[in-house]
Amino acid sequence: MAEEINNVKKYTEEDFETLEWHEHIRRRPGMYLGKLGDGSAPDDGLYVLIKEVLDNAVDEFHEGFGKLIELSLNEERQEITVRDHGRGIPLGKVIDSVSKMNTGSKFEKDGSVAYGMSVGLNGVGMKAVNATSTNFYVQSFRDGKTVWARFEKGVKIESGHGKQGDEKDGTLIRYIADNTLYVNYKYNLEYINTMLKNYTYLNPGLTIKFNGNTYISKNGLLDLINDKLKEPPLYDPIRLIGNNIEVVITHIDDNGENIYSFVNGQYTFQGGTHLSAFRESVAKVVKDFFQKDYDPKDVREGIMAAISIRIGNPDFANQTKTLLNSRLTDKESKGGIPISRFIYNFLATELDNYLHQNLSLGEKLQKKILANEKERKEFEKLKKSKKSRKGFINNEELRDCKIHYTDNNPLAELTTLFITEGKSASGSVTKTRNVETQAVFSLRGKPKNTYGEGKKAIYDKENVELNHLQAALDIEEDIDNLRYNRVVIATDADVDGMHIRMLLLTFFLQYYPDLIRRGHLYILQTPLFRVRKKKKDNSMDTRYCYTDDEKNAAIKALGTNAEITRFKGLGEISPEEFSPLIGDGIRLDKVRLSNEDKVSNLLEFYMGNNTEFRRQFIMSNLRENVILEDIITLEEETTAL
C-alpha cells in the first residue's frame, strides 16, 4: 500500500499488482467483449460470447470438418450449449485452450497456420467466455477418447478423461453468463436468430440447429439480400463469386446505402477498409461501364448490397471484430495485395462483364442513377439560392465543444451533441457538460413535421431550426463529415417532449437514415423522480429514478420521510444535479434502424394519416404506467401536423 508523506503519495513496489488471466478479464471485460449490457442490444457482450464459441465451430467447417452445429438455450437456467462435429480440440490442449491467454492454433508457426482464413486469431475469445461465466464446461471427443473440464468464473473446479463411447468427434461447450457482470440479463432470440442466419448465408452447406429451428443457405449472400428485401428491387440482384470474395448488388426505391459487410465470416457492421473499397469500386466500375462521369453518390444512392471477403491474418479494431483495419489481404512479406485493389480488380472484371451480358438490367440501373442525379442537382440549385446559414454556429443556438468526431483525437469517440428544448434545459446541460467533448444545440420551439416533404423543405422559413441543426452536424453535403459521434435527443419526459422527439426522429429518418443505421442517434433517458433524504452528517442521499419501480425501490431503501420530487422537464433539474445524468451515469437508448427496414413504411405508420389504425396499435400496446390521455393527445397533435 502506498505511504502518504505530507499528503503526497509515495510510489513504491507495493503499488504493483499481478492479476491472474481470469481476474484481468473480469476487471476489464470491455477490452475483450466491448460493452457488457443486459441483452437488450444486439452488440451486447452476451452475443459476443455466443459468437466466440460459434466462430471456432465454423472454422472447423471451413477446414472441411463438421457440417452441423447444434446450439441450444435453456431460458430457465440461462444456459448456452454449443456442440460441433469437427475434429475436436486436441486432447492435450483442451484445458489450455480455454484457460491460458494467447493459447490457440490460429497463430502463424513456421510460415503456416492450422486455420487458413480464420476470424479468431488472438487466442482470447474462449477465455473471455470462460472468465465471465459462473459455470463453464468444455469437452472434446477425439481419437476414441474424451477430455473434459469445468470452471467457475475462470477457475478450474474439476477435470477428467475417459473413452469416447458413441459420441462423434467434435467439441461441446456449455456455459452460464455471470449475472453479476451482465446484470439482470435476458437473451433476445431475434438477435440470436439473425446471427445464426448470417453464419449460414456466409457458409453455404453449413447447417445450424437452434432450439428446434434449422438454418441453412444454398445461395449465400443472395439469400441474405432476398430475405432482407421488403419489396421487389429495381432490378434482379447481381451475384458475383470469386476466390475469397462474394458480392451481391441491387438497388431499391429508398434513400441511403444499405450494405452488409463481412470478413472471414464476421459481420463487420462498423465497416472498415473493405467496405470503403467496395463503395469506391462499385461507383468507379459503373461509371466506366456507362462512360459517364456520374457522381459516386448518385451511383450508390438506394443501393442494397453485401460483400464478404476472406483474408489471412485480419487486423480488427477490437476483440469484438466489428471494424476491419487491414490494408492488405495478407502480410506484406507473403505477397499480400491491397484490399482496395483486390476488390476493385474483382469488380472491374466480374461486374463489368455482368453488365455487358445483361444490358436491360444496365438500363434499369442507369435510370436509377439519373433519377438520383436529377434530385441531387435540384437540391444543390435550391441550396445555392438560399443564404448560407453556417454562420450561426458560434451563436447561442450551438454551444460547441473543442474536439469533434472528425478529429484525429483519441477522445473523438466521446463527442456528443445534445439537442435540447428551451433555454432552461439547454442552460442546465451547458453549465454541466464536458466542454472538451459535449456540445449543446438548443431548439426554440417545435420543429415542423417533415414527413412526406422533399429535402428542399429544410430550407423553408418554417424549418430554420432543422436547417441550422443539419449545419451544426455538418451532414448537409456528406454524412461522413458528421462532427459528433453521438447525437442525443434530450427532450422532456412529457407529452410535448415526446412530440418533439417524434418530429426530430422523422427529420433524421426522412433525410439522414444512414446516420441512424450507423448507430449515431440516441435518446437521453431523463429521470422522472428524485428521491432524497438527509443523512446524519447533513449531506443528502439522492436517488434519481426513471420508472415507478425505481422510485418505489428508492423509497424503500431510504425509509420514511424521504423527499420525492416529480420532474416535469429538464429545466427543473439544476446544473449541479445534471452532472451525473450526462456524465458517467448517463442513460442512453440507441435508436436502431436495421438495413432492411423500409423507412417510408415506418414514417407512414407513425407520422401518416392512418390515425385510427395507429391509435388502436397504441392502445393495445400501452404499458400500465402510461397515461392514456397523454398518448391520445400526442396522437392527435402529431396527426394535425
The DSSP-derived string for 462-492 is GGHHHHHHHHHHT-SS-GGG-S-SEEEEE--
Give the residue numbers spanning the domain of 506: 390-526+588-608
3-state percent helix, strand, coil for the chain, nearest multiple of 5: 40, 20, 40
Give residue 264's region: left, alpha or beta (phi > 0; psi -120 to 50): left
Q: Among 238, 220, 259, which residue's Cα sits nearest to residue 351? A: 238
615, pLDDT greater than 60: yes
H or E stretch covering 170: strand 170-177
Residues near 587 by beta carbon (within 8 Å), at least 6 away in sequence: 524, 525, 546, 581
Longest distance between any two alpha carbons in the chain, whole Å = 84
Measured between alpha carbons, how far is 503 from 634 in angstroms, rounded to an integer? 11
Measured between alpha carbons, how far is 421 from 286 in angstroms, rounded to an integer? 45
Are 465 and 596 in the same domain? yes
- Which residue shows C-alpha cell 467533448? 437
DSSP string of 325-382?
---BSS-GGGT--BHHHHHHHHHHHHHHHHHHH-HHHHHHHHHHHHHHHHHHHHHHHH
Are 359 and 422 in the same domain? no
CATH number at residue 484: 3.40.50.670
- Indicate the number of domains in the chain: 3
Are 378 and 241 in the same domain? yes
DSSP string of 245-282?
EEEEEEE-SSSS-EEEEEETTEE-TT-BHHHHHHHHHH
Is 544 inside a domain boundary? no
pLDDT in tens, 294-346: 999 999 999 999 999 988 878 776 656 677 877 888 755 456 788 999 999 99
State residue 400 phi and psi, 5-degree precision. -80, 165
Are 34 and 154 in the same domain? yes
Give residue 313's region: left, alpha or beta (phi > 0; psi -120 to 50): left
Whether the Cβ atoms of residue 606 and residue 618 lie closer than 8 Å to each other: no
Provide the CA 618 distance to its chain's centre, in angstroms: 27
Are 69 and 187 in the same domain? yes
HSE-up of residue 617 (Cα within 13 Å, Cβ side):
8
Q: Which of 30-44, 50-64, 258-272, 622-636 has the lowest mean pLDDT?
A: 622-636
Q: Among 487, 395, 493, 503, which residue's Cα sits nearest to residue 445? A: 503
H or E stretch covering 97: helix 94-99
CATH number at residue 352: 3.30.230.10
612, pLDDT greater than 80: no
Looking at residue 592, its pLDDT comes to: 81
Measured between alpha carbons, how far is 388 from 591 in angstroms, rounded to an integer? 30
Is 630 inside a domain boundary? no
Are 601 and 490 in the same domain? yes
CATH number at residue 106: 3.30.565.10
Is 627 inside a domain boundary? no
Reading the block at residue 316, the C-alpha cell is: 480488427
- Mean pLDDT over 4-10 rounds to 58
Amino acid letter, 439:
A
- Mean pLDDT over 73-87 rounds to 95
HSE-up of residue 435 (Cα within 13 Å, Cβ side):
3
Is 12 inside a domain boundary? no
Is 70 inside a domain boundary? yes
Are 231 and 84 in the same domain? no
Is 109 inside a domain boundary? yes
pLDDT in tens, 506-549: 888 888 888 888 889 998 887 888 898 888 788 888 888 888 88
Q: Among 369, 232, 375, which residue's Cα sits nearest to residue 302? A: 369
Are 101 and 245 in the same domain? no
- Report yes or no on whether pTM surpasses 0.85: no
Whether the Cβ atoms of residue 154 and residue 26 lie closer than 8 Å to each other: yes
Are 185 and 63 in the same domain? yes
Are 309 and 449 in the same domain? no
- Mean pLDDT over 87-105 rounds to 83
Beta strand 588-590 pairing with 521-524: antiparallel
Are 273 and 206 in the same domain? no
Measured between alpha carbons, how far is 579 from 405 in angstroms, rounded to an integer? 22
Whether the Cβ atoms of residue 196 and residue 217 lie closer than 8 Å to each other: no
Helices 611-620, 628-640: inter-axial angle, 10-degree rounding? 160
Q: Which of 7-21, 67-81, 237-251 has the lowest mean pLDDT?
A: 7-21
Q: Could you give the C-alpha distances from 443 to 387, 399, 429, 468, in angstroms and in order?
A: 20, 12, 13, 10
Reading the block at residue 276, the C-alpha cell is: 470503403
Whether the Cβ atoms of residue 518 and residue 548 lie closer than 8 Å to each other: no
Are 58 and 195 in the same domain? yes
Is 5 inside a domain boundary? no
